[in-house]
Amino acid sequence: MNTLDANIRENTSKGQLNLIRKNGNVPAIIYGGKEENQKISISKKFLKNLIEKENFLSSIITLNVNGKSQKVLPREVKYHIISDEPTHVDFLRVLPGVKIKIDVPVNFINHEKSPGLKRGGVLNIVRRKVELKCPSEKIPESITLDLDGIDIGESFKISSVKLDAEVTPTIQGRDFVIATLAAPTVMKEPEKPTAEEGAEGAEGAEGAEGTEAAAAGDGEKSTTEGAKGDKKEGEDKKSSEKKPSEEKK
């Protein structure tokens, strides 16, 4: 289980919050249950290390607040619009028996043991996360799907996932698909010309070269130059007709 050290903060003004961030920390709040909301600050360096993990928002974290530990669940992280640095975090208290809704990531194992993948099949992932409703103390870290023996045309549905009796998907009434193993897509190559067609094509190319050379000898402009001129003129015309973009409001 991941652990973070936190300090209680007694500040409300925007200037005080900016000072916390300037000192390398991130303001946060702990809420939920019968206790009052608790304002804290945590190290941005250690917080970013946890955020980089795929299942950060579905992992229970132990917060050590001034020497007292409590289990929490990250619910929301706010980021700076330009620097993309974390600026605030909401933590939910983990209370026994209280059910919450949470997105749990889907992981696949044993790719090398799938006969379908060996034959060029493609794993089509429909849902990379599945929303579950479960007690806060029974949140699964991930949903693991085993590809061992899976062949082309087979699929994983939510009914094939083993979940705790108290853990249920929020989507009810249908056995929805999580992933399928589809057949490979093969691009059809163009047919090669026969020997006779190739000879005719070569003769036609020679005739075209002779005609072009004769035209050049008479002082006419080459087709290439004419094409370049047409292209440039078309571009000028297109740019002149283009309406000026509206200013952003």
Residue 226 lies in a domain: no
Q: Say yes or no: 112 and 81 in one domain.
A: no
Residue 246 lies in a domain: no
Question: Which of 68, 94, 120 corresponds to the end of one domain?
Answer: 94
pLDDT at 82: 93
Residue 62 lies in a domain: yes
pLDDT at 226: 39
**Into how many domains does the chain fold?**
2
Domain that holds residue 107: 100-182
Q: In what order do the strands lie in the sheet with 143-146?
A: 143-146, 99-109, 129-135, 168-169
pLDDT at 191: 61
Backbone angles phi, psi at 196, to 5 degrees: -65, -40
Question: Which of 94, 109, 142 corresponds to the end of one domain?
Answer: 94
DSSP secondary structure string, 127-172? -SEEEEEEEGGG--S-EEEE-TT--TT-EEEGGGS---TT-EES--
Q: Tell me the CATH number at 53.
A: 2.40.240.10
Question: Which of 62, 94, 126 corresponds to the end of one domain?
Answer: 94
pLDDT at 35: 86
Tokens standing for residue 36: 């009052």
In tens, the pLDDT along 147-161 reads: 999 999 999 999 999
pTM of the model: 0.61
Contact 92, 71 (CB under 8 A): no
Question: What average pLDDT does the structure give for the chain?
Answer: 79
- To 5 degrees, how large is the angle CA 20–CA 23–CA 24? 95
Q: Which residues of the chain have pLDDT under 70?
A: 1, 54, 186-249
